[in-house]
C-alpha cells in the first residue's frame, strides 16, 4: 500500500484527512473506524474507499500532508538574504511551535505512523529526506546529505521523546539544543 502523493486534494479527500486528524486526536488511531471517518467527513463509506484503500492509507496521507505543512513552515521561516547561522533558531522555533499545536495529533503522527510497518516507515523516511534536502539547500550544499539526515533524525528523536513523556507543549525548549546541534554539524563539515 502506498499513498498517492499526486492525488488531487478534492473536497472529499480534504474532508477525510481532516476527519482522520480530528478522530485520532479524539480517540486514538487504533479506535478509529472507517465509519467514524466517513461520518466525521460527511461522506459515504463508498466515498472513503474511492480515496483510500483503508484507514492506514488515510493516515499515511494525513502524515504526508502534515509533513508538507511543516516543511512549508520551515521554508517560510528562512530568509535567503541572511546567513543561515542567524536563521537556525528562528526556523526551529517556528517548526517546534507548529508541531506543538496539536499534541494528540502529533502523538499519532510520530507513534502510530511507525506502527503501520513498512508503509508508515517509508512515509517517515520520505519526510526525513525532504527536510534533509532543505538543510543541504540552505547550507549551500556544504553539508553531505547523510549528515543532514542525521540532524533530522536526532531532532525527531527529541520530538518523539517529548511526545512519549507528554511534554509536547514544551517542544519550543528544544530550539536551543537543536540549533547548537545543527550549527556544530554544519560548521564541522563546512
- Any alpha helices (H) in 43-174, and if so which ranges? 45-51, 55-77, 84-100, 103-107, 113-115, 118-138, 145-164
- The confidence score (pLDDT) of residue 8 equals 59
In-domain check, residue 146: yes
In-domain check, residue 155: yes
- The confidence score (pLDDT) of residue 4 equals 44
C-alpha dihedral over 125, 130, 134, 136, to 10 degrees? 50
What digits encode the pLDDT tens for the residues 12-57? 999 999 999 999 988 889 999 999 999 999 999 999 999 999 999 9
Residue 2 burial (CB < 10 Å; 0-12/13-18/19+)? exposed
SS3 state of residue 137: helix
- The confidence score (pLDDT) of residue 169 equals 94
Q: Exposure pattern of 97-131 as b/e (b: 16+ CB <10 Å)?
A: ebbbebbbbbbbbbebbeebeebbeebbebbbebb
Domain of residue 98: give its range: 64-189
In-domain check, residue 2: no
In-domain check, residue 140: yes
In-domain check, residue 147: yes
Comparing 182 with 10, the larger pLDDT belongs to: 182
**Would you give the DSSP letter of residue 30?**
G
In-domain check, residue 40: no
Structural domains in the chain (count):
1
Q: Are 20 and 56 in contact (CB under 8 A)?
A: no
In-domain check, residue 97: yes
**Model pTM above 0.85:** yes
Residue with cell 519526510: 127
Q: Are 37 and 45 in contact (CB under 8 A)?
A: no
pLDDT for 81 beyond 90: no
What digits encode the pLDDT tens for the residues 138-171? 888 889 999 999 999 999 999 999 999 999 999 9
In-domain check, residue 12: no
Average confidence (pLDDT) over 70-88: 86
Q: Are 109 and 66 in contact (CB under 8 A)?
A: yes
Amino acid at each position: 500500500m502506498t499513498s498517492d502523493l499526486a492525488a488531487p486534494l478534492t473536497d472529499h479527500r480534504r474532508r477525510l484527512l481532516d476527519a482522520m486528524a480530528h478522530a485520532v486526536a479524539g480517540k486514538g488511531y487504533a479506535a478509529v473506524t472507517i465509519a467514524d471517518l466517513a461520518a466525521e467527513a460527511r461522506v459515504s463509506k463508498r466515498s472513503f474507499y474511492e480515496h483510500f484503500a483503508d484507514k492506514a492509507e488515510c493516515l499515511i496521507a494525513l502524515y504526508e500532508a502534515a509533513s508538507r505543512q511543516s516543511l512549508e513552515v520551515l521554508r517560510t521561516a528562512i530568509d535567503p538574504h541572511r546567513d543561515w547561522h542567524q536563521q537556525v533558531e528562528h526556523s526551529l522555533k517556528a517548526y517546534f511551535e507548529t508541531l506543538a499545536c496539536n499534541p494528540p495529533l502529533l502523538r499519532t503522527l510520530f507513534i502510530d505512523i511507525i506502527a503501520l510497518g513498512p508503509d508508515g516507515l517509508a512515509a517517515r523516511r520520505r519526510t526525513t529526506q525532504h527536510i534533509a534536502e532543505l538543510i543541504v539547500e540552505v547550507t549551500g550544499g556544504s553539508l553531505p546529505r547523510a549528515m543532514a539526515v542525521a540532524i533530522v533524525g536526532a531532532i525527531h528523536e527529541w520530538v518523539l521523546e517529548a511526545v512519549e513523556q507528554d511534554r509536547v507543549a514544551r517542544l519550543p525548549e528544544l530550539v536551543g539544543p537543536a540549533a547548537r546541534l545543527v550549527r556544530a554539524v554544519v560548521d564541522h563539515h563546512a
